[in-house]
């Protein structure tokens, strides 16, 4: 599949979809508390996306996924299925939201702390976010995908964390997952060159321990092999001639400035 370059009309729809996905993360924040189940978080998000936003939760029935959002707790790396398990003090949880509005997808995720995180979990979560921000900051037409991956890898490995290899960011638009694949490790100057009008996600999964993962019997939930914790943050990005636009920026975030 060739990489699609979005027209101005499509970009406007991507902005709307991205903003709606970001709004779901803002809305859910006060509900992420100890004692609540991930299944209840899913219900709240479903209601909000369908009734308030008049949008579609993209994960629901996507390749058989049974819920509207992904909730990945502690050593779960990604694609956790919301269910009956209650959140407890000290948990870290990634909530991953993808909405479809007017035919276009917006995809974003963030980490939440349940109560007070341990210092090592807090450092992991902050380093993963900083890795994502640094990677976004270098984006403009003409750089290579390998520049993005290597920026994340260099930063997080300097903190002795590891980068998950089996899952990656992706082109996004009319389809949930389009070309290119955006891996979170690599070599500068290698891979596809970015062109203005590309839209893709960056969504590094970073582990406290070893990078190795395994898939649970539910065929969705990815966990670390060593059962140490993992963090992930995701934004949907538009490439422009001179830089980038973060289509899923939340109001609780500092804007991401272009690298000087």
Question: Which residues of the chain form contacts with Co ion (CB under 5 A)?
Answer: 96, 107, 201, 203, 234
> Least distance to ligand MF3 from the beta carbon of 35, Å?
25
119 φ, ψ (degrees, to nearest 5): -55, -40
- State the Cα–Cα distance between residues 1 and 236, nearest whole angstrom: 19
Nearest approach, Cβ of residue 152 and Co ion (Å): 15
Interacting residues with ligand MF3 (CB under 6 A): 59, 62-63, 65, 70, 79, 96, 98, 107, 201, 203, 220, 234
What torsion, rounded to 10 degrees, do the Cα atoms 142, 147, 149, 153 define? -160
- Collapse the DSSP code of 111 into the 3-class scheme (helix H, G, I; strand E, B; otherwise coil) and give the result: strand
Residues 170, 178 contacting (CB under 8 angstroms): yes
Contacts by 115-120, CB closer than 8 A, 24 or more apart = 115/33, 115/34, 115/88, 115/89, 115/90, 115/91, 116/89, 116/90, 117/90, 117/92, 118/90, 120/208
Calculate the alpha carbon distances from 197 to 183, 220, 223, 235, 245 in Å. 19, 31, 34, 16, 10
CB nearer to ligand MF3: pick between 3 and 196: 3
- Residue 91 interacts with which of ligand MF3, Co ion, none, CB < 5 to 8 Å by class: none
Measured CA to CA, the distance from residue 110 to residue 164 in angstroms comes to 17
Binding partner at 65 among Co ion, ligand MF3, none, C-beta below 5 to 8 Å by kind: ligand MF3
Measured from the CB atom, is 44 or 141 closer to ligand MF3?
A: 44
Q: Shortest distance, CB of residue 189 to ligand MF3, whole angstroms?
A: 26
- Least separation in angstroms between residue 150's CB and ligand MF3 is 21
Q: How far is the CB of 85 from ligand MF3 (least distance, A)?
A: 17
Nearer of residues 7 and 25 to ligand MF3, judged by Cβ: 25
Residue among 66 and 188 whose Cβ is closer to ligand MF3: 66
**DSSP state for residue 234 in the 8-state scheme:** B
Closest residue to ligand MF3 using C-beta atoms: 59
Nearest to 17 by CA among 104, 79, 77: 104
Which partner, ligand MF3, Co ion, none, binds residue 62 by CB below 5 to 8 Å per kind? ligand MF3
Q: What is the DSSP track for 13-35?
A: HHHHHHHHHHHHHHHHGGG--TT
Smallest distance from ligand MF3 to CB 26, Å: 17
Q: Which CB atom, from 153 or from 248, has the smaller least distance to Co ion?
A: 248
Binding partner selected for residue 59 from Co ion, ligand MF3, none, CB under the kind-specific 5 to 8 Å limit: ligand MF3
């Amino acid at each position: 599949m060739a990489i699609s370059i979005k027209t101005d009309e499509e970009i406007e729809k991507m902005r709307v979809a991205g903003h709606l996905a970001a709004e779901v993360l803002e809305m859910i924040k006060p509900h992420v508390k100890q004692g609540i189940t991930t299944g209840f978080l899913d219900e709240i998000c479903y209601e909000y996306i369908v009734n308030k936003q008049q949008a579609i939760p993209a994960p629901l029935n996507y390749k058989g996924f049974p819920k509207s959002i992904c909730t990945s707790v502690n050593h779960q790396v990604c694609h956790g299925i919301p269910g009956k398990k209650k959140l407890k003090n000290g948990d870290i949880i990634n909530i991953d939201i993808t909405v479809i509005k007017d035919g276009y997808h917006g995809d974003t995720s963030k980490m939440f702390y349940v109560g007070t995180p341990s210092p090592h979990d807090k450092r992991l979560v902050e380093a993963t976010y900083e890795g994502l921000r640094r990677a976004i900051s270098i984006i403009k037409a003409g750089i290579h995908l390998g520049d993005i991956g290597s920026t994340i890898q260099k930063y997080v490995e300097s903190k002795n964390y590891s980068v998950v290899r089996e899952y990656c960011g992706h082109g996004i638009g009319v389809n949930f997952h389009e070309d290119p694949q955006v891996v979170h490790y690599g070599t500068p100057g290698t891979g596809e060159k970015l062109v203005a009008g590309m839209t893709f996600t960056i969504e590094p999964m970073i582990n406290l321990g070893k990078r190795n993962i395994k898939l649970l019997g539910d065929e969705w939930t990815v966990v670390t092999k060593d059962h140490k914790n993992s963090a992930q943050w995701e934004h949907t990005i538009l490439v422009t001639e001179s830089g980038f636009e973060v289509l899923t920026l939340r109001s609780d975030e500092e804007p991401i400035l272009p690298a000087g």
